């Protein structure tokens, strides 16, 4: 069996992945808070863990992997959106959820086994708070229930920060009812016009950190294999998840491997609305096909900071043009079911080394372009598609890739075909000036014609 190595935030080193139970490998990844359209960071994380999910399924079998990625649908950000827009909260969360799912489908992110919404697991959250109160790790104050960080001697073990560093480096809510400024909310009161649920501590709602602990425990057990997310979540979110879960269940280690993606930047600086370098996924997908964005994410090792640039996005599109052109040239060649290139699998097994895996795809494409015999074309094409699938790439028909979707002000496929027929008629009548005019006009509108022995094909730039 292929050995997988992962950079484990918990131990601060790359180590061999050994699942608790190889017949049920379990992974939990923090999903989005659904209050607005998904931004680039919301897309980068699921693409990363989609690759890991594909690898786990390849190694252990899809039926032996359980993948959970949650949806946070109760949060102060959602309340603020409600106040700002006047829209009902349920409408905001459902609309945003639908947008997110649509983006994930375009990016070819596989559905997890479970995509739980926080509001569906309130009872589990209340029970978790009860356990923490009962064993002395939480206390009630001013209508709140708070986790007592002093009750956990090794609090901070995931992030490796001292208490002084944690207080300085996080946005700690100052409240005179806290025993320690670092104590965090497990349950807080809700006003009558805010979302809330009846609990032993009154009408209220859960703290953000509590949600993931309750959902992961319910769906994966108190101990599971992998917990993932962006590096920005290490503290306080993941640190507090560890605290809650380990203290609630005696002897629990919670997640055994913590995998975190590097920070996302735009043109070398952190993405921020205030800096004007903030992009939503749909803004980017209006410029290029979603697969180009997916490829761009994979060109940088996940553990490193990722720098988004428009130039990089353009280059990713050109790379896919090259890959799909190779497939287009052998569109009549049959595909056989073959295992992915062993080098691609080994690259991914070595802490998801996607840049190295991509280099092997380039090599396979070059071999496909040079293939002379039918047998060699079948072998290379089959190997390319099988290997690319490990990265979630080349999932489209080659012709569909080049024809793409017409932009709002662009030519439809029917209009382009009509122009191609008119050009063919002009050439038949030896009116080469008109034929050239049609070609040039199409090019000005982003449509490139290619004359082949089988006829004229076209693609969008």
Q: Looking at the structure, do residues 251 and 156 belong to the same domain, yes or no?
A: yes
* 304-340 tens-digit pLDDT: 999 999 999 999 999 999 999 999 999 999 999 999 9
Burial class of residue 311 (count of CB atoms within 10 Å of its CB; 0-12, 13-18, 19+): exposed
- What pLDDT, on the 0 to 100 scale, is given for residue 273? 81
Using the predicted structure, report yes or no on whether residue 201 has a pLDDT greater than 60. yes
Using the predicted structure, report yes or no on whether residue 164 has a pLDDT greater than 80. no
Range of the domain at 52: 5-261
Using the predicted structure, report yes or no on whether residue 169 has a pLDDT greater than 80. no
Q: Looking at the structure, do residues 112 and 201 belong to the same domain, yes or no?
A: yes
Q: Looking at the structure, do residues 396 and 455 belong to the same domain, yes or no?
A: no
Please, what is the angle between helix 89-106 and helix 76-85, to 10°? 110
Q: Looking at the structure, do residues 13 and 114 belong to the same domain, yes or no?
A: yes
Q: Looking at the structure, do residues 33 and 175 belong to the same domain, yes or no?
A: yes
Q: What is this structure's pTM?
A: 0.90
Evaluate whether 207 touches 185 at the Cβ level (below 8 Å): yes
Q: Of 358, 380, 401, which residue is a domain's last?
A: 401
278-282, 348-352, 453-457: range with lowest mean pLDDT: 453-457
Task: Please name the residues in contact with 317: beta carbons below 8 A apart, sequence gap of 6 or more.
Answer: 288, 289, 292
Handedness of CA 126, 131, 133, 134 (dihedral sign): positive
Q: Looking at the structure, do residues 71 and 25 belong to the same domain, yes or no?
A: yes
CATH number at residue 51: 3.40.50.620
Evaluate whether 6 touches 17 at the Cβ level (below 8 Å): yes
Q: Of 218, 246, 261, which residue is a domain's last?
A: 261
In 10 A of CB 399, how many CB atoms?
14
Kindly provide the residue ranges of all beta strands, DSSP E only, lying in 163-221, ordered along the sequence: 184-189, 204-206
CA distances (Å), 328 to each of 319, 325, 368, in order?
Answer: 14, 5, 11
Partner residues linked to 197 by β-bridges: 204
- What pLDDT, on the 0 to 100 scale, is given for residue 408? 46
357: nearest Cα among 339, 345, 340, 369: 345
Using the predicted structure, report yes or no on whether residue 435 has a pLDDT greater than 90. no
Assigned token pair, 261: 């993606």
Q: Of 228, 261, 294, which residue is a domain's last?
A: 261
- What pLDDT, on the 0 to 100 scale, is given for residue 434? 84
* Long-range contact set of residues 249-255: C-beta below 8 Å, sequence gap at least 24: 249/131, 249/217, 249/222, 250/135, 252/222, 252/223, 253/223, 254/222, 254/223, 254/224, 254/227, 255/10, 255/28, 255/216, 255/223, 255/224, 255/225, 255/226, 255/227
Give the pLDDT mean for 92-107: 97
Q: Looking at the structure, do residues 278 and 372 belong to the same domain, yes or no?
A: yes
Q: Looking at the structure, do residues 212 and 301 belong to the same domain, yes or no?
A: no
Q: Looking at the structure, do residues 306 and 379 belong to the same domain, yes or no?
A: yes
Using the predicted structure, report yes or no on whether residue 213 has a pLDDT greater than 50. yes
Q: Looking up tokens 């670092």, which residue turns up? A: 182
Q: How many domains does the chain have?
A: 3
Q: Looking at the structure, do residues 244 and 303 belong to the same domain, yes or no?
A: no
Evaluate whether 388 touches 365 at the Cβ level (below 8 Å): no
CATH number at residue 347: 1.10.730.10
112: phi then psi, degrees, rounded to nearest 5: -70, 170
Q: Looking at the structure, do residues 332 and 359 belong to the same domain, yes or no?
A: yes
Q: Looking at the structure, do residues 369 and 410 belong to the same domain, yes or no?
A: no
């Amino acid at each position: 069996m292929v050995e997988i190595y992962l950079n484990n935030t918990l131990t601060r080193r790359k180590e061999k992945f050994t699942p608790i139970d190889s017949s049920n490998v379990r992974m939990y990844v923090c999903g989005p808070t659904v209050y607005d359209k998904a931004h680039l960071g919301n897309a980068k994380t699921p693409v990363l863990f989609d690759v890991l999910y594909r690898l786990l399924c390849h190694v252990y079998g899809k039926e032996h992997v359980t993948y959970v990625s949650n949806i946070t649908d109760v949060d102060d950000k959602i309340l603020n959106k409600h106040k700002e827009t006047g829209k009902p909260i349920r409408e905001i969360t459902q609309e945003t959820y639908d947008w997110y799912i649509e983006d994930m489908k375009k990016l070819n992110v596989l559905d997890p086994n479970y995509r739980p919404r926080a509001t569906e697991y309130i009872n589990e959250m209340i029970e978790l708070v009860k356990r923490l109160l009962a064993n002395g790790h939480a206390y009630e104050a001013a209508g709140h229930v708070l986790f007592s960080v002093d009750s956990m001697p090794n609090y901070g073990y995931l992030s490796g920060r001292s208490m002084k560093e944690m207080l300085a480096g996080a946005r700690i809510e100052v409240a005179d009812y806290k025993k320690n400024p670092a104590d965090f909310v497990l349950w807080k009161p809700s006003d009558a016009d805010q979302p809330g649920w009846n609990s032993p501590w009154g009408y209220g709602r859960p703290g953000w950190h509590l949600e993931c602990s309750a959902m992961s425990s319910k769906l994966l057990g108190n101990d599971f294999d992998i917990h993932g997310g962006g590096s920005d979540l290490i503290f306080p979110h993941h640190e507090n998840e560890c605290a809650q879960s380990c203290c609630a269940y005696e002897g629990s280690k919670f997640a055994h491997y913590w995998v975190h993606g590097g920070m996302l930047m735009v043109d070398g600086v952190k993405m921020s609305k205030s800096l004007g370098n903030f992009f939503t996924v749909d803004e980017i997908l209006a410029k290029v096909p979603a697969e180009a964005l997916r490829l761009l994410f994979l060109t940088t090792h996940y553990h490193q900071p990722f720098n988004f640039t428009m130039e990089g996005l353009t280059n990713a599109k050109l790379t896919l043009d090259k890959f799909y052109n190779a497939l287009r040239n052998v569109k009549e060649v049959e595909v056989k079911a073959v295992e992915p290139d062993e080098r691609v699998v080994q690259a991914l097994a070595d802490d998801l080394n996607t840049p190295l895996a991509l280099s092997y795809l380039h090599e396979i494409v070059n071999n496909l372009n040079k293939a002379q015999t039918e047998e060699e074309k079948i072998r290379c094409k089959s190997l390319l598609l099988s290997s690319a699938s490990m990265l979630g790439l080349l999932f489209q028909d080659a012709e569909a890739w080049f024809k793409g979707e017409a932009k709002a002000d662009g030519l439809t496929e029917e209009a382009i075909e009509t122009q191609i027929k008119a050009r063919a008629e002009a050439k038949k009548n030896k009116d080469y000036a008109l034929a050239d005019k049609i070609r040039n006009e199409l090019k000005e509108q982003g449509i490139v014609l290619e004359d082949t022995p089988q006829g004229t094909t076209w693609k969008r730039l």
